[in-house]
Amino acid sequence: MTPAKSAGAELRVGGTVERFEVKRAWLVDPASGREGPGEIVVSDGILESVSWLEGRDAAGVDDLGVIVAPGFIDLHAHFREPGFEDAETVASGCAAAAHGGYTTVALMPNTSPALDEPGVLARIRDAARASGSPVEVLAFGAVSAKRAGETLSAMGELADAGVIGFSDDGAPVKAPRLMRSALVYAGMLGLPVIDHVEDPELTAGAEANEGYVASVLGLAGWPAAAEAAAASRALAVLADAVADEHGVRLHLTHLSTAAALDAVRRAKVAGLPVTADVTPHHLALADEWIAGARRWSWEALGPEDGTRDPWADGALVAGPYNTSLRVNPPLRTAADAAACLAALLDGTADAVVTDHAPHTTVDKEVEFGLASNGISGIETALGVLLAMVDAGRLPLARAIAALTSGPAGVLGKWPRVAATASARPRGLVEGVPADLVVFDRADSWRVTSSTLLSKGKNSPLLGRELPGRVLVTIACGRLAWQDL
C-alpha cells in the first residue's frame, strides 16, 4: 500500500483547483511512455509540477496503491439529451463521467431530435455549460438526416459548428453508397465517419449472440457474421473512397467479434486509414452471463481459447435473462472477449470506449428480447479494466493508455479535430491546465443504484465490488469529482 497524502484547500466541483498535491503516488503517463513513483502539484488550475521520485525517495511506492493518470477520454457515450432526459441528461452524464475518471466525452447523435443540424449541438453545449461541470463535451453529428439512412445530414454546417465526426450510431450507416459519399465528404471536411458495424438483415429479431448459450436459453441468435460482414463492407468502401479523397478516415466502434477485429488488423497492415475501439463489457463479460454466470470472460476460457460450458461448470450463480445484459452488439463468447483483448494488446483496437447507454427502468423491466439495448458503463469502465489488470491479463500502463493516449491518438488522426483545442496535450504535462484522475487501486467500491451517479442504473455489475475507487478528477484545471 502506498502511503499517499492528498492535501487540498477548499475544493468545490466546478471551481478552479487552487491548490492540490499528491505525494508519493504511482504516476502513469502513457503519452511519454513513463510510469513510476512521483508527486504532483496543481496550483491555480495549472499542473505546476510533476516530480519523478528516485532512489530512497521512491522506496515503498508501488503501482498497487494511489495512481495518478491523465484524465480519461471516452470516444463513445450517450447522454440522451435532448429527447430522453428520463434516461440521462448532459448534467447527470457529466457527473457520472467525472466519477468514472473521465474529463472528456464524445456524445453520439441518436438524440431526439437527432444531432443532424447545428441547432441540436447548440442545445447540448448550452446544457453542458449550465451543468457547471468542467468535463469537456464533444459530439458527433449524424451521417444521415434524422439518422434515417436516406440522405446526408447538414455535414458542412455541422463541421463548421464543431462536431468531431459523423455517425449514425445506434444504427449502422444504412447503405454502402451513402457510406461512400459520407466518407468522402467527411474526409474533405477533415473529419471521420464512425460506424456501428451491423448487417441489420442478419440481426432482425436477434436477442443474444448466436451459439450455445442462446440456443439453451431459447433466445434468437445474433450472428457474429452480422458484424464481420458489415466491417468487411465498410473497409472495402473505405479502400475505394480513399482513392478519391486522401483525407478519408473511418473508425469502427464497439467491435465484439474475432472476425471483425481480424478484418481491421488486415486493413491496418494494408495501410488503410482506419481506427477501432472495444468496450469494457465485450472485454470482460461473455454471453454466459445471460444464463446467470458471473465469472469474468477469461475465467470462462477453456483449453486452446475455447469457451467453457457454464452449466457443466456449475458457474450459474444468478437468475437468467437479466435485461441489463442486453446490449448491441451482444455479449459474445469468451473466445471473442479474448480476441478483443488481443486486439487491444496488439494495437488493432486503438482505444477502449464505454458505449455508455443509460436507460430508464421501464425500458429494461420487460422480457429480455424486448428490452432496450445498452449498458450504463461510464462509471465502471476503470474498475473492469483494473479487474483485468489484477488478473494479470492486461498491463496497467496499457489499460491507462487505452483510456487516455489511445483515444487522444485517434482524435489526433482527424485533421479538423487535431487543429482544435480538443487535441491539447493529453498527459502529465507541466505548465498546462491540470487534466487528471487520481484513484486508489487498493480501495474498492460497490456498484449500486445509489453509488452510480448516472440516471441509468442498467448495469450488470450492480452489487459487485470493483477495484480502483476514484478519489479526484480534475478537468481542465477545475474540479470535476472528489471523494477523498
**What CA dihedral angle connects 113, 197, 71 and 475, to 10 degrees?**
-10
Q: Using CA atoms, how far apart are residues 460 and 447, in angstroms rounded to an integer?
A: 10
List residues bridging with 333 in a β-sheet.
none
Minimum gap (Å) between residue 303 Cβ and Zn ion: 33
Minimum gap (Å) between residue 471 Cβ and Zn ion: 32
Residue 105 or 301 having the CB closest to Zn ion: 105
According to the binding rule CB under 5 A, does residue 199 interact with Zn ion? no
Q: Which three cell numbers stand for residue 190?
A: 477533415
Minimum gap (Å) between residue 350 Cβ and Zn ion: 17
Q: Using CA atoms, how far apart are residues 82 and 122, in angstroms rounded to an integer?
A: 11
- What is the greatest pairwise CA distance in the chain? 65
**DSSP string covering 322-357:** -GGG--SSPP--HHHHHHHHHHHHHTSS-EE---B-
Return the residue of 29, 74, 116, 169 that touches Zn ion, per CB under 5 A: 169
Minimum gap (Å) between residue 170 Cβ and Zn ion: 6
Indicate the pairing of strand 221-222 with strand 208-209. Answer: parallel
- Binding segment (CB under 5 A) for Zn ion, from list 24-32, 161-169, 388-396, 412-420: 161-169
According to the binding rule CB under 5 A, does residue 195 interact with Zn ion? no
- 324-343: which residues touch Zn ion (CB under 5 A)? none
Q: How many CA atoms lie within 13 A of 446 on its CB side?
A: 4
Q: How many residues bind Zn ion (CB under 5 A)?
A: 2
Closest by Cα among 417, 390, 385, 387 to 402: 385
Residue 231 or 470 having the CB closest to Zn ion: 231
Q: Using CA atoms, how far apart are residues 193 and 172, in angstroms rounded to an integer?
A: 11
According to the binding rule CB under 5 A, does residue 294 interact with Zn ion? no
Minimum gap (Å) between residue 82 Cβ and Zn ion: 19
Minimum gap (Å) between residue 427 Cβ and Zn ion: 29
Minimum gap (Å) between residue 172 Cβ and Zn ion: 8
Residue 169 or 336 having the CB closest to Zn ion: 169
**What CA dihedral angle connects 267, 273, 279 and 280, to 10 degrees?**
90
Q: Using CA atoms, how far apart are residues 72 and 436, in angstroms rounded to an integer?
A: 8
- Binding segment (CB under 5 A) for Zn ion, from list 10-18, 141-149, 190-198, 385-393: 190-198
According to the binding rule CB under 5 A, does residue 196 interact with Zn ion? yes
According to the binding rule CB under 5 A, does residue 277 interact with Zn ion? no
Residue 170 or 460 having the CB closest to Zn ion: 170
User: By the 8 A CB rule, do 284 and 367 touch?
Assistant: no
According to the binding rule CB under 5 A, does residue 356 interact with Zn ion? no
According to the binding rule CB under 5 A, does residue 478 interact with Zn ion? no
- Binding segment (CB under 5 A) for Zn ion, from list 109-117, 193-201, 412-420, 426-434: 193-201
Residue 16 or 323 having the CB closest to Zn ion: 323
Kindly give the residue spans of alpha helices, DSSP state H, lying in 132-253.
Answer: 155-161, 176-188, 200-203, 212-217, 225-244
**Residue nearest Zn ion (C-beta atom):** 196
- Binding segment (CB under 5 A) for Zn ion, from list 165-173, 224-232, 331-339, 412-420: 165-173
Radius of gyration of the chain (CA): 21
Q: Which three cell numbers stand for residue 119?
A: 441547432
Angle of the 225-244 helix axis to the 176-188 helix axis, nearest 10: 50
Catalytic, out of 355, 363, 435, 440: 355
- Binding segment (CB under 5 A) for Zn ion, from list 93-101, 192-200, 275-283, 360-368: 192-200
Residue 136 or 169 having the CB closest to Zn ion: 169
Decide if 199 is catalytic: no
Catalytic residues: 355
Residues in contact with Zn ion by CB under 5 A are 169, 196
